[in-house]
């Protein structure tokens, strides 16, 4: 267990929104984890092409995560390893990047990239479920997750965030990049949710109440960037453990 003290929060950069008294619910995810795994196995060879528009938001997330030399970082749902390579560069030879993903196809694709980049000695990737992380408590300085939390059904989101909190040092931070559900959904969000309900395997994620979920899991957002992708709100949130 880490004896590190939690870094003080800087209230000047907290951009909180009003948290409703009754927590609203995101649309449910009805496809199974086995279906998610099969889907991402299929997509793994050309995922970078179909998801190219997400890259700027991942880069922004990595920017506010601000990894330093020697840090240990975990990425949940690393996909083809788009963030893994940048993180391996940031932490240098004295740091460690760990990553878990449920898809064997994604694991193979990401491992190939890591080998080609010559950073295998700093990177440990494995095939696991984010709801049961194979790491000890307080193992990481930072956790990163992009376009992955919104793949989990409502009861599973707190489970995944609790796992993030468990493996994070008290002084650590988490950055989550996700489609986010605004208080009043516009046409793009409503259309997307409709498509998700009609085609739960193909359109397998949906916007979530990201800030609420982070607060509920014991994190304090300290930097929130709001963007839009194809008319859908994207939030890039850096948060620190409280208590
Ligand atoms: C939409 S992709 C995003 C990939 C990557 N983070 C990016 O932004 O490019 C979601 C990733 O989460 C993985 N995933 C889905 N369910 C998971 C689970 N239960 N545990 C771990 N990874 C999961 C998928 O295999 C996929 O690689």
On whether the CB atoms of residues 221 and 238 are closer than 8 A, the answer is yes
pLDDT tens by residue, 98-155: 999 999 999 999 999 999 999 999 999 999 999 999 999 999 999 999 999 999 999 9
Position 37 in a domain: yes
Position 1 in a domain: no
The band of 23, judged by pLDDT with boundaries at 50, 70 and 90, is low
Position 116 in a domain: yes
Position 212 in a domain: yes
Q: How far apart are CA 240 and CA 217, in angstroms?
A: 11
- For residue 211, pLDDT beyond 50: yes
* 57 half-sphere exposure, CB direction, 13 A CA radius: 26
On whether the CB atoms of residues 237 and 221 are closer than 8 A, the answer is yes
- For residue 39, pLDDT beyond 70: yes
The total domain count for the chain is: 1
Picking from 97, 210, 178, 205, the residue whose alpha carbon sits closest to that of residue 143 is 97
CA of 8 to the centre of ligand 1 (A): 31
CA of 4 to the centre of ligand 1 (A): 30
pTM for the model: 0.91
CA of 58 to the centre of ligand 1 (A): 13
Domain that holds residue 105: 30-241
Instruction: Give the model's pLDDT for residue 24.
Output: 83
Ligand 1 pocket at CB < 6 A? 33, 36, 40, 51, 54, 58, 77-79, 82, 100-103, 106, 129-130, 146-148, 151
Contacts of 6-13 with CB under 8 Å at 24 or more apart are 6/170, 6/171, 6/240, 6/241, 7/171, 7/240, 9/220, 9/222, 9/240, 9/242, 10/222, 13/222, 13/223
Q: 21 is written with which tokens?
A: 């008294």
Position 152 in a domain: yes
Position 49 in a domain: yes
The residue ranges of DSSP E strands in 93-201, in sequence order, are: 96-101, 123-127, 140-146, 168-179
Q: What is the CATH number of the domain that holds 208?
A: 3.40.50.150
Position 215 in a domain: yes
Helices within 118-186 (DSSP H only): 156-167
Beta-carbon neighbour count of residue 41 at 10 Å? 16
Position 188 in a domain: yes
Mean pLDDT of the region 228-236: 95
pLDDT tens by residue, 144-198: 999 999 999 999 999 999 999 999 999 999 999 999 998 888 999 999 999 999 9
Alpha carbon of residue 70 to chain centroid: 21
């Amino acid at each position: 267990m880490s004896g590190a003290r939690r870094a003080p929060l800087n209230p000047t950069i907290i951009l909180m929104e009003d948290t409703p008294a009754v927590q609203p619910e995101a649309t449910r995810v009805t496809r199974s984890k086995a279906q998610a795994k099969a889907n991402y196995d299929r997509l793994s060879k050309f995922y970078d092409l179909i998801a190219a528009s997400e890259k700027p938001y991942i880069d922004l997330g990595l920017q506010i995560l601000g990894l330093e030399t020697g840090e240990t970082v975990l990425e949940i749902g690393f996909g083809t390893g788009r963030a893994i390579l940048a993180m391996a560069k940031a932490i240098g030879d004295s740091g460690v990047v760990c990553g878990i993903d449920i898809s064997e196809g994604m694991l193979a694709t990401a491992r190939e990239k890591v080998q080609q980049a010559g950073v295998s000695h700093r990177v440990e990737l494995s095939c696991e479920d984010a709801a049961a992380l194979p790491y000890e408590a307080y193992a990481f300085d930072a956790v990163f997750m992009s376009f992955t939390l919104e793949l989990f059904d409502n009861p599973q989101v707190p489970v995944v965030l609790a796992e993030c909190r468990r493996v994070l040092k008290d002084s650590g931070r988490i950055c989550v990049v996700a489609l986010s559900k605004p208080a009043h959904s516009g046409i793009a969000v409503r259309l997307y949710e409709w498509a998700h309900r009609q085609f739960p395997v193909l359109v397998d994620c949906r916007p979530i109440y990201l800030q609420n979920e982070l607060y509920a899991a014991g994190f304090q957002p300290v930097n929130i960037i709001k963007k839009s992708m194809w008319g859908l709100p994207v939030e890039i949130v850096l948060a620190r453990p409280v208590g």
